[in-house]
Structure 1
Amino acid sequence: MKKQQRVFAVISFSFLLMAFTALKDDRPTLYIIGDSTVRNSMTNGQWGWGTLISEFLDSSKIAVSNQAMAGRSTRTFIKEQRWDKVLSTLKKGDFVMMQFGHNEGSKPDTSKAGYRGVLKGVTEDSVSLTWADGSIEVVHSYGWYLKKFIKDAKAKGAIPIVCSMIPRNEFREGKVMRSNQDYGKWAKQAAQEAGAYFVDLNSITADKYDAMGDVAVKAFFPGDHTHTNEAGARVNAQSVISGLRALPNCPLYNFIQFNLPVSFSSNMILQREKPVVIWGSAPAAKSVTLSFANQRKTVQADNTGAWKIELDPMKASTTNRNLVIYAENKDSIVMKNILVGDVWLCSGQSNMEYTYDRKIKRYALPKRGEDLQEMEKANTNKSNNIRYLYVERLNTRQPYLPSVGWVDASDTVMNYVSAIGYFFAKEIEAKTGVPIGIISSSWGGTRIEPWIPDWAYQNSPTLKDSVNGPNFKVDGVHPGQMFNSMIKPMLPSTIKGMLWYQGESDLNIHDHATYPAKFELLVNTYRELYTDKKMPVYYVQIAPHLYSKRKDPLPHDVYKLPEFWEAQAASLNLSKVGMVVTTDLVDNLGDIHPPYKWEVGHRLALQALAKDYGFKKTVFSGPAYQSMRVKEDKIILSFKTDAALKTTDGKTPNWFSLAGADGQFVEANASIEGKKIVLQAATVKQPTQVRFAWHETAQPNLVNEAGLPALPFRTGN
């Protein structure tokens, strides 16, 4: 019933819009032509993006006439005189947006199947068909028909825009199949040859589908692989607008509704107890007014239409409120269900990206039953006070944020975002009552360099030359690529802190020597960009893994991982940082993605609770080496720990080794004495050096009373 009401509302709105257009005929009209993916029945999951495009345009300045028709190809749209109908009302200053390609694939002939077919490519070739009534039809290529639309539109003084066809729900090896070698390529070629604007709708949407994954995308296609429901059509309409935003010279760009970055949307959480900056675009030199939580601020957009408003610091609030922005002579933007709390940025590579929904079979499931139960418990006890901004993967040198905006923890998109971020947020929110927003911006396989802006490297005396070295060129990674597309568009927003889980790809190039400096640069740069020199940053030490089995890009031995652990631990000397250890969270040493993400989120939460939320008695770190003392043939180690030492299995501590002046390490016998470890090896009479967990497979049993594992270390290096 609700669906029928919605359809009726859309139809009613369409008639009202047509009536308004008739009264106000001085507005230009955007004519849209195409097939069923552009306009459909709006019932039974059949929605076209053209039906929703008016939501993103300024209806006071432009009308929309969606003339697309289901089942039509470029050829039949002309043959059935549908194009003539558009031309009869098309006038100077109007726009024609076209998207075809789904119905052109059959061989052109006089059969039912061949009725819609065209010749492939953008050629001037043609074939003549004789129909049963004796009439002759000349059939041309796909590109020829597109160029006819373009030329006819330009002859009327209208502005043509060609869109490549939206992708079907067809995945291969985890990627959606694209049309960049056929109809997408031909559409672009036709646009270039005939002088039209081009929106690569196929690639823009395919990038989104790839980031979402086949499970999420399947929900957009309830009936078949081609036709979307309303949610899918809205994604496609957003892709059209994204493409137009990349065409600032196209006059239609000026009719895009005044807007905000996607990092501002309904369901978002605004950072508490700090000034909050909100910005966007509006008509040039026009006033913009923002109203939220008893604050009302007005500014004037500059000559480019850019504006920025700063809200005064606010207390945390679990009350859902609307944030309303008015632009002079424009409709208002209303963002609903806004909370005030703490916002944490989660970034890094695949272990931070690791999905919350264990049903997505991208990674192995945890073997320990209690962890499966923990995940199920979290799945059924979701909080409306936890919100997520999921940033999709996009590698570009240009600032563009690929996201659909904020969602709350009950939304299905929660199934496809960072598990670590969610479990961190869940624990913080449960223990403090403060709403928690998580910005999930990660990309599997990335090194640290692309998350740091170019200028930061250029301003670093110690690192500005390192990015040109041979290691840096492995895999063609460049500084700033992820930052530009997945971080920069959210600036200058306000956040509480940052969670970081990354390093596997830097270990692959033996980058333990410079990684501490790069991580320090990352921390200092983000603190500068988020205007908080004391912003907390908590990070994860990567887990045991058989790196020595890898030969690409560089060969490894069993000590490269502990050397990298040491490099990561070196950053503990920075202010307001904390590190969690994961040596105990691996089931399969051959899998670089340990599955116990709820525990990683818990350990990160312990860091934040103890340091940022007033839980001073919380034990937040495992035992860390502090000092050593040689006593005859023994070495006595002292540890920095807030709780007594113990082992997880009740046995003596393992993974300790000793060496003398010759540097030959042997396994040591270890015993616990309070917060100290006593080491001895029968063959080492005068020990001088210690190693703990100094092997890529090390999963030591030494923990504190809180169950947090000891940090790997070595002495004498």
Structure 2
Amino acid sequence: MYKIKFVVFILFSCLILSHCTSARKEKPTVYLVGDSTVKNGQGDGAGGLWGWGDFIGQFLDSTKVNVENHALGGTSSRTFQDLGLWDSVNVKLQKGDYVLIQFGHNDDGPINDNHRARGTIKGIGDETEEIDNILTGKHEIVHSYGWYIRKVVTEAKEKGAIPIVLSPIPRNKWVNGKVPLNNTSYGLWAKQIAEEEEVTFIDLNTAMAMRMEALGESKITGTYFYTHDHTHTSAKGAVMASEVIIDALKRSSNSLVDFVLEKPTINLPKKRNLFLVGDSTMADNGDKNAVGWGVHLPSFLDTTRLQVINKARGGRSSRTFTYQGLWDSVLQQLQPNDFVLLQFGHNDAGNVDKAKFRGSLPGIGNETQEVVRPDSRRETVHTFGWYIKKFIKETKAKGAIPIVLSLTVRNEWPGGMVEQRKDSYVKWAQEAAKAENAIFLNISDSLAVKYQALGKEKVAHFFPKDHTHTGEEGANFNAKIIANSLKQCSECNL
């Protein structure tokens, strides 16, 4: 009987030991705590903005370590803790986990106001300020920035986790070709806490600023940061910050380096395609005196998220773009959620049954005309609106988004007013779009208003070749107006 009990005890002990051993072999977790520069919004790239915490996991071996991004935009070292966000991480911490800590961008705000009340006392001391929080209505004792960072560090260490303190990411502000550092404020204070607590410090601020300066302001702005936001990075900027962090880890003695991949594959968010379908007023014609606005449109768009594919072709009408198979080549490439900008009209007024055989029938109806082409092939010619509706329907069938634009205006001023084809191609484009429940933008009117304001003499410089085709200056001007129309179009989602 004693032997049986002993065997059972041994087996039970082995099971417990096996379970404990198994638990110890579970992957550690890298917890990220910080503000919007670590995780912007929901971490889905809304507005093209990303935090470095959204990409750093791609540099680590996911078979050996997990990454959880608990950062929240708008928080400071103080409010991250007041909101209980640090507690939600701390309660899960286990021995061998890692905590990457980056705050500072929001700590410089007011300590007490009715807007955010998120500021902290400057420095790393034990000074306090007792307040009745106007925003929350709570009585509160506010501490220094360093006090809050130290609290996270010490509580992580108590759990056997490994804290790593980072200085705040630099802002995209330039002074005489240099990116100002925060090495006398939050970057310094973060470093001091790390040194006093004997944990790894990564000077993200200085190291990333050096990378930015090596590329120069013109290459950084619009690619790694946007012109309208000097604090939050694009996907490429977030990857750059991650690379800086990983490089610093490689130079440290921190054990997290053991999980860094030698040759990581970095996947940026998939770009959506924007197809341009039209004639020479949109196309890249290889002629500096006849430049389509589509050539300059990418400079007004976020090309880190949107790929512009200019399929416009000079001399084409809605009819010939179809007949020559150019539209089919667009259809073959279309993917769900792509965009298609459709703009025809300049060449649709040509001959229907004579050279250049590119005219379409007027209107948007179902009328047809049989034409015998020079090669003896017969062609059924449809109305301008019929072709536009065909483009719309087939774009939608691919799950893509058609946007119909009226044709551009010419440099013609009958009666001192900018010429528009309001009673023909502008009208028919709008009617065709309405018939197929597609978005329509009256670019003709938008351009005419701007041209009228500039005056005939200034606009003449936009058209160095003829009254239809713009040069570089005119194409850039038109592209800016069209981009602005797309921006103001809420249903376009561009």
Q: Which protein has the bigger helix share?
A: 2
**Which has the bigger relative contact order, CA under 8 A and spacing at least 6?**
2
TM-score normalised by the shorter chain: which range applies?
Answer: 0.3 to 0.5
Q: Which protein has the bigger strand share?
A: 1
TM-score, with length taken from structure 2:
0.47
